[in-house]
């Protein structure tokens, strides 16, 4: 477990998806506060601060996504199932390369 944590690369971009579609992206290097309009009028508030991203609040009933904490490493994500919101950290490399091509 320690090896996996140490070997994870720091991400550079926060990508916001709603219902499977990328709707916004932000640099981890710039502090930002963004209100996400989720599925069926749900709402999440994303905060990017000091190189980390987290959900400050959410309209979902259980608030599990808010309690997931801060993320900053490439591949980490925060998911709000009721609002169909996914917050994912990606590196610049992730934008240009594909893991697998199926055709």
pLDDT of 73 reads 96
Q: What is the pLDDT of residues 62-91, one digit of tens each?
A: 999 999 999 999 999 999 999 999 999 999
Domain of residue 61 covers 8-95
Is 100 within the bounds of a domain? no
Q: What pTM value is reported for the model?
A: 0.81
Domains held by the chain: number: 1
Taking the chain (103 residues) in runs of 10, the rounded mean pLDDT of each run is 61 95 96 95 96 97 96 96 96 57 53
Q: What is the three-class DSSP state of 26?
A: strand
Cα separation of 45 and 29, whole Å? 18
Please list, in sequence order, all residues whose beta carbon lies within 8 angstroms of the beta carbon of residue 10, skipping any fewer than 6 positions away: 28, 51, 72, 73, 74, 91
pLDDT of 101 reads 53
90: CATH: 2.60.320.10
Number of helical (H) and strand (E) elements in the chain, helices listed first:
2, 7
Is 102 within the bounds of a domain? no
């Amino acid at each position: 477990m320690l090896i996996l944590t140490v070997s994870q690369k720091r991400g550079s971009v926060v990508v916001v998806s709603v219902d499977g579609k990328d709707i916004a992206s932000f640099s981890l290097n710039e502090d930002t506060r963004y209100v996400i309009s989720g599925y069926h009028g749900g709402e999440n508030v994303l905060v990017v601060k000091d190189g980390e991203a987290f959900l400050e609040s959410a309209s979902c009933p259980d608030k599990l996504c808010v309690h997931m904490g801060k993320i900053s490493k490439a591949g980490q994500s925060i998911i709000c199932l009721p609002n169909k919101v996914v917050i994912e950290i990606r590196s610049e490399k992730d934008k240009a390369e594909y893991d697998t091509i199926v055709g």
